[in-house]
Chain A
Amino acid sequence: MSSYLLKRIMVLIPVLIGMTIIVFSIIHAIPGDPAETILGQKATEQSKQALRDQLGLDKPWITQYFDYMGDLLKGDLGTSIRTKTPIAKEIVPYLAATLELTAAAMLFATFVGVNAGILSAWKQNSWFDYTAMIIALIGVSMPIFWLGLMEQLVFALKLHWLPSIGRMDQRDPVESITNLYVIDSILAGRWDQLWTVIKHLILPSIALGTIPMAIIARMTRSSMLEVMNSDYIRTAKAKGLSQFIVVYKHALKNSLIPVLTVVGLQTGALLGGAVLTETIFAWPGVGRYIFEAISSRDYPVIQSGILIIAFIFVFINLLVDLLYAAIDPRIQYK
């Protein structure tokens, strides 16, 4: 196992270097003068030129690339051009915000998806099965933007059950320690704020979690159906065990392996792809951070931001593979 782990980590290095090359080339292929975009219509030519000099934009790409990699190896992620703050320091709260949202969305997606999938397989071809799969189909094709605004309209505007935007009640905030507000409010012993923080999480995590939820539900159902038809389940049934025990104890574990992969991949995808949800719900996450960097041509932020996301994505995949091995000892890595 440990040599497998080591091998996996060694493979990561070329993958990440490849990432830097791809990201770097794409960014520099985008037309548009960064100096103009960053400084705005109202800046003078002189200061635009000064910025180009400072960023080395007049140098050849290859020189710029090696300069960037050199800094990266020293642990320097660069400095944001727009805010003039070191990225390593700046990105932490954004990452935490996205992490919290993704975790909530995946909890929702996994719980609802797995259970809907199990019940659909259990009651195959029943009305529940049909309804759940139709909902899953709609869920996959639902535009997040529309779903988010509809949620706001119904649950915030009409019913007043939930807040529509942001992460907590700003009028009486909890001091950020970990930047994960659920944990921060627990640390501060602020139960009232913990409750509002959770309320703020509900709508965006449903918006973000709907697509993975639908995918997970379909995956669980088909995987479950396969396992339910296998010999050992027939044996378990023949022994006279209750349906519930058969399904939740014996069948579930084996059908969860492919589901786990989907959960892992979706978590990675959500981490980077939460831009729309973050925009609608004014969630200050890393998706919006990078998106805004792209629209203002903040090269260092785009580069380092995408690299960090890629790193997390690869890391989650690694984790999934390891979990695989843990759940199913038949899977051998040589």
Chain B
Amino acid sequence: MKKWGSLALTLTLGAGLVLSGCGGNNASSTNSAATSSPASTATAGASAQDTLVVGRGGDSASLDPAIITDGESLKIDHQVFDSLLEYKPGTTEVEPSLADSWEVSPDSLIYTFKLHPGVKFHDGTDFNAEAVVFNFQRWSDPKSPYKFEGDSFDYYDSMFGPDGSRVIKEVKAVDDLTVQFTLNQPQAPFLQNLAMTSFGIASPTAIKEKKENFKNEPVGTGPFVFKEWKHNDSITLEKNASYWKEGLPKLSKVIVRSIPDNTARFNALQNGEIDLMEDVSPDDLSTLEGNSDLQKIERPSFNVAYLGFNFKKKPFDNVKVRQALNYAVNKQALIDAFFAGQAQPAVNPMPPSLWGYNDQVKDYEYNLDKAKQLLAEAGYPNGLPDTVTLYAMPVSRPYMPDGKKVAEAIQAEWEKIGVKTVIESPEWATYLDDTKAGEKDDIYMLGWMGDNGDPDNFIYTLLDKDSIPGNNRNFYVNEDLHKILVDAQKEIDQNKRADLYKQAQVIIKEDAPWIPLVHTTPLLAAKANLKGFVPSPTGTEYYSEVYFE
């Protein structure tokens, strides 16, 4: 027993000594190793660096694009899968992808797509009309044998209607390279929807063989082939050598790493451990701009951050009160203070880059006298009698890096017109729950990022009465608005639709269910020699055109 004890002791100390030996030498030996490594990457870069390392805040939830709704998952799927259509890089304009061309019947109910010939999935099987039919059946049939336990096809349901009110009636293969969609009713954003990453075409053979495991080992036709997924750490993709688009991809390997802390991620970029980072904090902007080895990349603004009034609570059902509070927010000051200038004041519930935006709508200017006057007209000459509960987001989002600070600034402004607020920031899940129930908050802060480049995805989703309960956390109901939005969904002519959305924005401005705050320009940063990266408004980019100089 005694011997055993001293043996354990000796081992502990021995191990300690070895470690300390390493520790002592560390300084000098790592020094040489590490200084040589950035240098060697740099020289490799000069000839041709062909591996891209991306750093982002979170990991993917799943790699099957059909079953997820989170942006982090879509980013990877975008590299592995192609959809029938795609968005032109940097925009939300629809372009051919796996479908070369299409015809629409005069009643807008039948879409016939000609598929690109000679395309193969990563597993070597052929891409053809049957594969398209297989995928759409999998998503639409609730009893599909390829809908695995726990799967739900949320984006399919929300874009093409849930079971019972499907937009797509039938998908059939006319011949090997022709596929025909028959709709139950016309859907204006139909093509726009098809281009979403969620509707990437997967290899039927792989789904049949891998079953549940498909979500860990995706097989598509995209520019990169899935290689390895180390959860919460990294996802490795390799070049698809037989990619159907000539000359692409330019890189031979992409590694996407999850680095949750913003500062640590920025440190890693400066240290050369990653080449491209997402979600640069506005605080780091000056450091980024001062570093000539790095470049700043601005993603087109395609979001909105807002304060919503809870119509269930008095006196926020009173339009004059809502307008008064609209007059008492200085948006430009918020942008200067908390967004490092990387945002523009929001007037409407959708970003100006989106078609159908009404630039004739005038914002409520920052005018405290006007605000007081409106409050007086509403019957509150001395300000609101009760303290207002203002919900401020506890998490950082691309449209709102620091919700609490912004809320505090607004609190100070409102104090000036006699409106006392208490700021509450419960943890995120509770936050979403509370605002959806509408019992605790008087005013809440939230935002939205566009999915598919259609105004419907902002206005109808966030402010129509159909979206209660759900994303309309205002409990705002306006029948005139509802009629316009539903008409717009059925209208095929984009000019007419644009007019309808413009009318909708006028109504919303007058009703003031929100205080639209900002449209932010999310920031990315990369090594200076990274080229060919085109930031997309939807937040998912192809890495296929990226190369290093």
Contacts and interface: CB of A to CB of B under 8 A. Distances in A.
Interface of A: 30-34, 36-37, 39-47, 50-51, 54, 79, 81-85, 90, 93-94, 97, 107-108, 110-112, 114-115, 148-149, 152-153, 156-157, 159-167, 170-171, 173, 176, 195, 198-199, 202, 252-253, 256, 279-282, 284, 288-289, 292, 295-297, 323, 326-329
Contacts of A326: 1, 4-5, 8
Contacts of B23: 108, 202
10 contacts: A33-B436, A81-B150, A82-B61, A93-B230, A108-B19, A110-B12, A111-B17, A166-B233, A170-B234, A327-B5
Given A107-B16, A282-B257, A329-B1, 16 more contacts: A30-B430, A33-B433, A40-B70, A43-B69, A43-B154, A44-B162, A108-B23, A111-B15, A152-B264, A156-B267, A256-B9, A279-B260, A279-B261, A282-B259, A295-B429, A326-B5
B268 A165 contact: yes
What are the 3 tightest A-B residue pairs by CB atom distance, in nearest-first order? A111-B16, A32-B429, A284-B232
Given A47-B152, A323-B8, A284 B231 contact: yes
Contacts of A149: 263-264, 267
Contacts of A328: 5
Interface string B252-274: 01010111110111011011010
A148 to B, nearest CB: 8
B143 interface: no
Nearest to A108: B19
A164 B53 contact: no
A44 B160 CA distance: 12
Interface string B224-264: 00001011111010000000000000000101011111011
B157 to A, nearest CB: 5
Contacts of B436: 33, 36
B429 A34 contact: yes
Nearest to A104: B19
B532 interface: no
Interface residues of B, number: 82
A85 B216 contact: yes
B471 interface: yes
Given A42-B69, A326-B4, A329-B2, A157 B267 contact: yes
Given A44-B162, A114-B16, A161 B34 contact: yes
Q: Is the interface of A mostly helix, strand, loop or mixed?
A: helix
Contact of A282 (B1, B20, B264, B469): B264
A284 B154 CA distance: 28
Contacts of B470: 45
Nearest to B26: A202
Interface string B202-214: 0000000000100
A139 B149 CA distance: 49
Contacts of B124: none
A85 to B, nearest CB: 7
Nearest to A37: B429
Contact of A157 (B20, B265, B270, B469): B270
Interface string B61-96: 110000101100000000000000000000000000
